[in-house]
Structure 1
C-alpha cells in the first residue's frame, strides 16, 4: 500500500481485524507519540510480552507500525516501534465499502539516521 491511498479488499479485512483487537489499538495509541520497545508496551498496555509481540508482528506486517533498532550504551540493541498509521477512513456507498489508509513516516532523529547508515554499511 502507498503512504496514503485506497486499501484493497485484503487490506480492509486485515486492518479491520487489527483495529477490532483491543491490544492492537492500545499499541497504536501508545506508539503514536513516541517509539516504545515491546517490553515498555507490555508494561503500559498491561498485557503479556507474548501478546504484545504477536500484535506488533501483525501491525508491522500491515504497515501500521514501524520498528527501528536502537543501540544501547552497553552494546546491546533492541527494537522500538512507532505507529505509522495516521488515519483510517471508511466510506460506504452503493459500490461497496471503501477504506482509505493514511500513513505517516515516523520522524527520524540523528540517532536513527546514524543507525540506518551503519545498517547499510554492513
Structure 2
C-alpha cells in the first residue's frame, strides 16, 4: 500500500529519493502521473508488470514522490489512483559538505486535505 504523503511531516531521506529517481520504471511512472491514474492505467501506459508496478509505487511512496487517492464508487467499492506529489526536487550541499534533499509540494485545498484524511481513515477501518 502506498503511503499518503500528506500525513508525513518528515522529509524523505536523500538516499530514498535518489533510489527512486535512479530507477527507470519509477521515472516512467512519475512522467505519467501528472494527472491521477489507476494501477491498471499505469501498467498499460508504462508497460510494467503488475507486481513490479506495486514495488515501484512503494519506492516512490517511501520517497514521498507519489500519493494515493481513493474514490468511493456509488455502486460500492473504491478506486485508487496515484498522482505525482511534488513540484520540484532539489538536492543541495551545505557548508559542512553534506548533501540534503528538499521536496517542494503543491498546495492542497481544503477538499484535497479532507479527501486525504478520509482515505487514511478508510485504511484504518
CA distance in 1, matches of 2:110, 2:32: 18
1:38-53 matches, cutoff 5 A? 38-53=39-54
Give deviations 1:55-104, integer Å, cap 9, x for gaps: 11221232211101123344232211111121111224652223222122
- TM-score (norm: length of structure 2): 0.71
Alpha carbons 2:71, 2:79 under 8 Å: kept = yes
- TM-score (norm: length of structure 1): 0.72
- Is 1:27 aligned to 2:19, yes or no? no
Quickly say closer, same or farther: Cα 1:79–1:12, change in 2 above 3 A: same
**Runs of 4+ with deviation above 3 angstroms:** 105-110
Aligned residues: 114
CA distance in 2, matches of 1:51, 1:85: 22
Structure (1/2) with the larger strand percentage: 1
Q: Gaps (5+ residues) in structure 2?
A: none
Q: Gaps (5+ residues) in structure 1?
A: none
Range that drifts further, 100-109 or 50-59? 100-109
Higher Cα Rg, which structure: 1
CA distance in 2, matches of 1:77, 1:109: 18
CA distance in 1, matches of 2:66, 2:26: 10
> 2:82 aligns to what?
81
CA distance in 2, matches of 1:108, 1:77: 21
RMSD across aligned positions (CA)? 3.4
Shift of 1:116: 3.1
